Structure 1
Amino acid sequence: MNRFILCLAGLVMFTACSKKLAIFSSKSSQLNLNNLDYDNISLRSKIKYKDENSDLKATANIRVKKDSIIWFSLTPGLGIEAARGIVTKDSIVIIDKIHKEYQILKVSELSEKYHFDFDLKLLESIIIGNLIWPITSNDDIKKEEGYFKVQKTEGDLMVMNFIGTNSMKLEKIQAVSDTSRNAMFIDYSEFLKVENKIMPSEINAQINYRSKRNKAKKVSKVQIRHSKISINKEDLNFSFSIPDKYEPM
Structure 2
Amino acid sequence: MKYFLYFFISIFTLFGLTRCKTQKAITKAIAPRDSTKNAQITTASDSVIQINFAKEILQKNTINYNSFSAKIKLDIEDGEGKKPDLVANVKMIKDSVVWISITAPLLLNTEVFRVFITKDSVTLIDKKERTIHYRSIEYLQELTNIPFDLKTIQDLIVGNPIFLNTEKMAIKTTEKFLIIATLTNEFKNLVTISLADNLIQHSKLDDLNILQNRTADFSYDNYAINNGVPFSTIRQIFVTEKNKLDVRMNFKQYEFNKELSILYSVPKNYKKK
Shorter-chain TM-score category?
Answer: 0.7 to 0.9
The one-letter amino acid paired with 1:72 is I
Tell me which amino acid in the other structure corresponds to 1:194: N
Give the match for residue 200 of structure 1.
232
C-alpha displacement at 1:106, in angstroms?
3.3
The reply on whether 1:56 has 2:73 as its aligned counterpart is: no
Q: Residue 41 of structure 1 contacts residue 229 of structure 1 at CA under 8 Å; is this kept in 2?
A: yes
| Structure 2 counterpart of 1:227 | 252
- Per-residue deviation, 1:157: 1.4
2:100 paired with 1:72 = yes
Match of 2:215 in 1: 183
Q: Does the 8 A contact of 1:38 with 1:231 survive in 2?
A: yes
d(CA) in 1 for partners of 2:152 and 2:66? 16
Q: TM-score, normalised by structure 1?
A: 0.81
- Trace 1:1-249 onto structure 2 (pairs within 5 A): 2-10=1-9, 11=11, 30-31=53-54, 32=56, 33-53=60-80, 55-77=83-105, 78-112=108-142, 115-134=145-164, 136-144=166-174, 146-179=176-209, 180-209=212-241, 217-234=242-259, 236-249=260-273
Structure 1 stretch displaced more, 49-58 or 172-181: 49-58
User: Quick check: 2:76–2:84 contact (8 Å CA) kept in 1?
Assistant: yes
Moved >4 Å (runs of 4+) = 108-115
Q: What is the SS of the residue equivalent to 2:3? A: helix
Q: 1:170 to 1:137 in 2, by over 3 A?
A: same
| Preserved contact between residue 112 and residue 127 of structure 2 (Cα < 8 Å) | yes
Structure 1, residues 184-240: CA drift from partner, whole Å, max 9, x if none? 11111110111222100011002223xxxxxxx111111110011111112x12221
Unaligned runs of at least 5 residues, structure 2 = 13-49
Q: How many residues were matched structurally? A: 224
Distance 1:7 1:144 in 2: 36
Matched position secondary structure for 2:85: strand
Q: Percent identity?
A: 22
- Evaluate the alpha carbon distance shift between residue 194 and residue 68 of structure 1 in structure 2; reply closer, same or farther with a 3 A threshold: same
Unmatched segments (≥5 aa) in structure 1: 13-28, 210-216
Q: In structure 1, what is the Cα distance between the partners aligned to 2:140 and 2:240?
A: 14
d(CA) in 2 for partners of 1:133, 1:147: 21
- Cα distance between partner residues in 2 of 1:109 and 1:48: 28
Compare the two structures and name the one with the higher helix fraction: 2
